[in-house]
A and B are shown apart, each in its own frame.
Chain A
Amino acid sequence: MELIQLAVPVLLKGLWMTLTLTAVSVAIGFNLGLGLAIMRGSDKAWVSGFARHYSTAFRGTPLLVQIFLIYYGLGQIRSIHDVPALWWVISEGSRCAVLALALNTAAYTSEILRGGLVAVPAGLVEAAKACGMSRAMRFRRIEFPLAIRQALPAYGNELVLMVKGTSLASTITVLEITGYAKRLMSQTFAIFEVFAIAGVLYLVLNLVLIGVVRLIERRLMRHTGPAPQSRSASVQQAI
């Protein structure tokens, strides 16, 4: 009981950090990923090539290497010290973690969104062209809304991976849930209990996140009517 009183407030402090890291890096990473997904569809070979190689590089290496490369590696380049904006990012652990997480999730997000964009029927885009829509308007009104509906379930999984990914920030001195949990484990030696409390926090966080994604999904798909299962049930009733 004493342990719970000690551990829960500390881990809740970490929860706030975990939430901040996730929210900021997802916000940046989604936009970067969207940009990369559009670049993948470009006619220019170097534009689509860059996006493809970016995605291979970031998906083919562990997140931990990326975080260390940014936190320890970039500080070594002299010219970065001279640019105040870059130095501001590099000089602190949590900002490095956000940068690494955002670049990492951008690669995965671009793959997910590209899958959605490829699945948009060509006829719809052609029809929009025939209506005289500009390229930007076509993307905003036709392609993106359809792609995001297709991509949302996979993107929900990516969000869970991001929440879990923030735990790596603890390796570069950022105190979030895992960072505090490690510290509590070595202070109290109550390893399993601390793990259980921290684990429950992560599980609840992920469950809420998945619930929110499902809610958005249902709202976006409301034009299709109720879920297929209940529809077939109502059909049977009608018969």
Chain B
Amino acid sequence: MEFGLVQVWEGGWVGAILRGASVSIAVGVASMIFGLIIGTICGLIKWRAVFGLSHLVDLYTSVIRGVPELLIIYLLFFGSVEFVTKIATVFGFAELADAGYAFFITVAAISAISGAYSTEVIRGALAAIPKGHIEAAVALGLPNRRIFMRIIAPQMLRIAFPGINNVWQTTIKDTALVSVVGLQELMRTAFIGAGSTHNPLIFYTIAALVYLMITLISQVGFTRVEAVLSPRERG
């Protein structure tokens, strides 16, 4: 039987793919937010060279960035699956655990990866802030909180932004990896579609195009925001 785009439509795969894509985007955005929180904290620790802690952060970023993402995902999934099911069953959340668990652990894994890259980006941005700005703020007697909010954070954000864009691009692509452990996101949906219709070519092509659309559209968004953030030329 000839299988084409019409069959993809009639088989209800379009809806499934869109649902998968929204799960992918949700995982990507959630992981990016957690990753940025991790990155800001760890970046500050590294920048300030907090004794002891900065070595731990070094260990974290070099392990995550040197070991394949897939291996980290395997560790977190296989390492936690028994533990979490046991706890959930004890407290009577067995069904809830099945549904939410994959999503939760996926976000944890991708956040850990994205956080390591964000840390490096944010540390670099912090290091690029001219020392004099902070010294001037200290000399004016501003409290630490306000120095961070008014002097450090705005400049950090602006300098780090292109790097954060790169981290987002890799993060959204990394979400495809969790399909191997069973979360129903875009890649997993394409995998199931390919298997049940014996038509991998069409399903993986669609998946590739949807990913491409996500990355291209978000690229446009990032470029716009970057234009807003960049300091205006003073005439």
Interface residues of A (CB under 8 A from B): 56-57, 59-66, 68-69, 72-77, 160, 163-168, 170-171, 177-178, 181-182, 185-186, 191-192, 195, 198-199, 202-203, 206-207
CA distance A185 to B201 in the complex (A): 32
Q: Is A195 a contact partner of B71 (Cβ separation < 8 A)?
A: yes
CB distance from B206 to the nearest CB of A (A): 10
Q: Does B63 contact A (CB under 8 A)?
A: yes
Nearest residue, chain B, Cβ from A74: B201
CA distance A132 to B67 in the complex (A): 49
Number of interface residues of B (CB under 8 A): 36
Q: A64-B177, A72-B200 given as contacts; is B216 within 8 A of A56 (CB)?
A: yes
A66, A171, A202: the one contacting B180 at CB < 8 Å is: A171
Q: Is A206 a contact partner of B66 (Cβ separation < 8 A)?
A: yes
Q: Is B71 a contact partner of A76 (Cβ separation < 8 A)?
A: no
- Count of chain A to chain B residue pairs whose CB atoms are closer than 8 Å in the complex: 115
CA distance A191 to B83 in the complex (A): 12
Interface residues of B (CB under 8 A from A): 62-63, 65-71, 74-75, 78-79, 169, 173-177, 179-180, 187, 190-191, 194, 199-201, 204-205, 207-208, 211-212, 215-216
Q: Show 22 residue pairs from A and B whose CB-CB distance is below 8 angstroms, ordered by the A residue.
A: A60-B216, A61-B173, A61-B208, A61-B215, A62-B176, A62-B187, A68-B204, A72-B194, A73-B204, A74-B201, A160-B65, A167-B68, A168-B177, A170-B70, A171-B70, A191-B75, A192-B75, A195-B79, A199-B66, A199-B71, A202-B66, A202-B67
Across the A-B interface, the 4 shortest Cβ-Cβ residue pairs: A167-B68, A72-B200, A62-B176, A73-B201
CA distance A170 to B187 in the complex (A): 16
